[in-house]
Amino acid sequence: MQADFEIEHASGSDKPSYDFIVVANRLPVDRVQGEDGELSWRRSPGGLVTAIAPVMQESDGAWVGWHGATDEELEPFENDGIHLIPVPLEECDLELYYEGFSNSTLWPLYHDVIVPPEFHRTWWDNYKKVNKRFAEATASVAKPGATVWVQDYQLQLVPKLLREARPDLRIGFFNHIPFPSPGIFSQLPWRRQILEGLAGADVVGFQRTADASNFLRCMRRFTDRTVKGSLAIPPASPGESGSTGNICRAEAHPISIDTQQVAELAHDPEIMARAKQIRQELGNPKTIMLGVDRLDYTKGIRHRLKAYGELLADGEIHVGEACMVQVASPSRENVERYQQLKDQVELMVGNLNGEHDTMEHTAIRYLHHSYPLREMIALYLAADIMLVTSLRDGMNLVAKEFVAAHTDDTGMLVLSEFTGAADQLTQAVLVNPHDIDGMKSGIMRALRMDPQDSARRMRRMRRHLRDHDVATWSQTFLSSLAQPLPVDTLV
């Protein structure tokens, strides 16, 4: 098969090459400025890098990704034992590939079209171009027979591009966000190309069984592949179909958190003291409710605020006795829909506080910031009720972190049915965020739950997280990727 881009093969050049490569839109580091003004790199928080770092160290691995600034080319470098290979993005790539096709076409399309996706051919052209750049950067540093693990919706064309250039590679892909049903996916003008892009992988992983089955249904409907069980099989002579000749397997591998790390931090005396201080600073209310989200329209923040506001107005809960803390971390701030959401949320918060605050107490403390993990754990510990009310969410790791932090089994989680996490955290109070009355009764149920009942539920969820942490996730995915296909599926 002919690659449609020329690559500089690692073997034969002096370039270092690797047996295991993760490819993601972002590198797992943030640039920080020290007190002396010196710039350095710090590992970014997050489960993915925690899970993958040990595999990287064991198997001479590298991470290919964007370093977060535009119009700047950086040489490969090392941080915390991980080889990092920066892929440059120009200002126009940021606009067309990242803010455009990734976050204004694919993101809303894959999240149940909560806001209408926009389809622009210039965005698509740039998405192809940038995906090619990532594939080239990867192909040129992969040792013969290396394993490559591509992450998320920004890079769905990379598996096919890589397979064409380097048929010797073992290629995995993991989609961190939901995969839509064929009815919704059909809107995408480039639906076949995206599916063929993904099918270049040996294994495509999803958060939920429902996502894997949506993907296979789309494969059956929009490509020439035959779907048999979990396999998408290419036509005998791929010809014009645009298909790579490999069989692709779709599987569900729900991602998780570093459960032990969260539990250890929850026992850190400094963090425990900080949790107490947070409660005090909020005036020691009987109940603290907490929301922690990227400021994103998928998270159902407005629905949550509406339910909370109505509970206050109905006199079901009272300011002073109860308080809500909403952390909304800034996200994709150049995208118009995110700017609109920020205005809407801030208007609601203003109205709510104007209506219900007293001199002493506030109804809702709104924080438009990101916080380090230690502060997040303190907030989880300080909170009694965690509100996760996403309208659609691939997984939602905040829900998992809250449960894992409450090692004494106190607290309760109110969790949207439309999160991947709801498939695993079945002991939470599950709610439909579109049903405001249902959400109000869910919150009241969590608030009034018999402590023995809530402790039993929290314990069961925590056990689940102990047995299914992020290391289990990466190990299960990678061992499935290493497995050859069963012989009878090849006929």
Instruction: List active site positions.
Output: 176, 393
Closest CA to 140 of 252, 44, 5: 5
Please report, as a single letter, which amino acid is at residue 472.
T
Number of H helices, E strands in the chain: 17, 18
Subset of 174-193 contacting ligand G6P (CB under 6 A) = 176-177
Please, what is the minimum distance in Å from the beta carbon of residue 296 to ligand G6P? 8
Please, what is the minimum distance in Å from the beta carbon of residue 69 to ligand G6P? 14
Q: Which is nearer to ligand G6P, 396 or 454 (CB)?
A: 396
Q: Which is nearer to ligand G6P, 174 or 185 (CB)?
A: 174
Tokens matching residue 181: 């049903």
Tokens matching residue 386: 């965690």
Q: Which residues of 332-368 are buried (b: 16+ CB within 10 A; e: fewer)?
A: beebebbeebbeebeebbeebeeebeeeebbbbbbee
Q: Which is nearer to ligand G6P, 389 or 427 (CB)?
A: 389
Tokens matching residue 488: 């009878």
Q: Point out which residues pair with 319 in neighbouring strands.
A: 322
Subset of 16-35 contacting ligand G6P (CB under 6 A) = 26
Please, what is the minimum distance in Å from the beta carbon of residue 317 to ligand G6P? 31
Q: Would you call 57 helix, strand, or coil by DSSP? A: helix
Please, what is the minimum distance in Å from the beta carbon of residue 15 to ligand G6P? 27
Closest CA to 356 of 411, 310, 398, 405: 310
227, 191 in Cβ contact below 8 A? no
Number of Cβ within 10 Å of residue 208's Cβ equals: 21
Using Cβ positions, the residue closest to ligand G6P within the complex turns out to be 176
Subset of 52-91 contacting ligand G6P (CB under 6 A) = none
CA atoms within 13 A on the CB side of 95: 5
Please, what is the minimum distance in Å from the beta carbon of residue 94 to ligand G6P? 11
Q: Which is nearer to ligand G6P, 176 or 468 (CB)?
A: 176
Query: Given candidates 187, 331, 370, 432, which one binds ligand G6P under the rule CB under 6 A?
Result: 331
Query: Given candidates 67, 253, 306, 332, which one binds ligand G6P under the rule CB under 6 A?
Result: 332
Q: Which helix (H) or strand (E) holds 145?
A: strand 142-151
Q: Which is nearer to ligand G6P, 202 or 393 (CB)?
A: 393
Tokens matching residue 113: 């079209």
d(CA 397, CA 299): 12
| CB-neighbour burial class of residue 279 (10 A; exposed 0-12, middle 13-18, buried 19+) | middle
- What is the total count of residues that contact ligand G6P (CB under 6 A)? 6
Please, what is the minimum distance in Å from the beta carbon of residue 293 to ligand G6P? 11
**Residues 138-157 vs ligand G6P: string with x where CB under 6 A?**
--------------x-----
Q: Which is nearer to ligand G6P, 26 or 208 (CB)?
A: 26
Write the DSSP assignment of 331-377 as a string of letters.
--TTSHHHHHHHHHHHHHHHHHHHHH--SS--SEEEE-S---HHHHH
Q: Which is nearer to ligand G6P, 332 or 440 (CB)?
A: 332
Please, what is the minimum distance in Å from the beta carbon of residue 329 to ligand G6P? 9
Q: Point out which residues pair with 386 in neighbouring strands.
A: 290, 413
**By the rule CB under 6 A, 165 interacts with ligand G6P:** no
Please report, as ranges, the residues that interact with ligand G6P according to CB under 6 A: 26, 152, 176-177, 331-332
